[in-house]
Amino acid sequence: MAQPTVVQLRAFVTVAREGHFGDAADELGISQPAVSAALRALEANLGGEVVERTPRGTLLTTFGRALLPSAERVLAALDELGADAARAGRPHHGPLRLGVIPTVAPYVLPTLLTTISSDFPELQPEVREQQTAALLTSLAEGSLDVAVLALPSEDSSLRELPLYWEEFVLLVPGDSPVAGARRLPLSTLSGLEVLLLEEGHCLRDQTMDVCRQAGAVGQTARATSLTTLSQLVAAHLGVTLLPATAVPVEVRGSLATASFAGTKPSAVLGGNAGRLLPGRRIGLVHRASSGRAAEHEELAEALRVGIAAAGLPVTVVGSAS
C-alpha cells in the first residue's frame, strides 16, 4: 500500500469538514478537479473509498469515518512541526541549554539569568552545572548550546567570547597576620598551606599555577566547592585563593581576605608589562559550527552589560567595558 501524501490527506479532511467538493476547493485554494484527483489518489493508496459522492454533496463512508481521526492527527502533527520550526528559526527564542562551571554558578548565575530574562524574554534557559571537562564534552555532543567557563578552553572547535576578568584574593582566618592586607607579594604564599579543590575543577589548576609562581605547594583538600574550602580555612586548616565574585557569599564570620600586589585588571587586559595580579578570564563559549554565532555574540554583549550594571567585582571584557 502506497503512503498517502499531505495534499491527499488535506483534501480528505477538508472535504469531510465542508461536505462539498466545491467548498473544499475554495478552502484549500485549488480547483475542484484537483480536489477530486487528490481524493481518488488517496483512495487508491488506501485501498477503499473514503467519501460517497451524492448529488447534494459528499458523505463519509464507513471506511472514511474510521480513517478520519488518524488523518486529522497526522495533519495536526505536521502543522505543529511547521510552527515549531518557525519558532526555532527566530533568534533568541526557545530553550537555551546553558552550562556553567561550579566556581561561577553560585556567584554570577543570578546576574546572568536576570539579564537573559530581561533582554531575551522568549529564551528559556536550561542550566547545567558541571566541571569544565564535562561541559566541553556536552558542547561537542550537542547537548549544550553555550557554556560559561574559564578561558582559554583549549578547544579549537569552540568560539570564545570573553565576558570578564576577576582577581583572585587570599582567603585567610580572621586572626591571620595578613588578614586585610593589601598588595601582598605573591611570595607570601610560599609560607602558607594553600588548600585546593579536588581534581577536575579548573580553579584548582589555576590556583596551582599561582602556587608555582610563588614557590608554594598546594594541598588538595578533597573539597568539591568553595563553600567547603572556606569552612576549612575558618577551621585554621590552611588558606586558599578565592575568585573576587565569591567573596560576598563566602567571606563571613571568622574569615577575612588579603589582596596581592600586581598590575591592575585594566592593564592586564591591555597587555601591559609588569607583574600580573592572579586571576582568571571567564567567557561564553559555543561551537563554531553551530550557525548561531550572531545570536551568541548578542547574548555575550548583553551579559557583559548586565554584569557591569550589577556591580560585580570584576573587569568586564569587551565593548561593554
Domain architecture of the chain: domains with CATH: 6-88 (1.10.10.10), 102-321 (3.40.190.290)
Per-position DSSP letters for 224-244, written without gaps between them: SSHHHHHHHHHTTS-BEEEEG
More confident residue, 92 or 267: 92
Average pLDDT value for residue range 121-138: 93
- Detail the DSSP E strand segments found in 199-310: 218-223, 240-243, 255-258, 279-287
Q: Left if phi > 0, otherwise alpha if psi is -120 to 50, otherwise beta: which for 253? A: left
Residue 24 has pLDDT above 80, yes or no: yes
User: pLDDT tier at 57 (50, 70, 90 boundaries)?
Assistant: confident
Residue 132 has pLDDT above 90, yes or no: yes
Q: Left if phi > 0, otherwise alpha if psi is -120 to 50, otherwise beta: which for 52? A: beta
Give the model confidence (pLDDT) of 243-290 as tens digits: 999 999 999 989 999 999 887 656 455 555 456 789 999 999 999 988
Question: What cell numbers appear for 140 in the block?
Answer: 561537542
pTM assigned to the model: 0.74
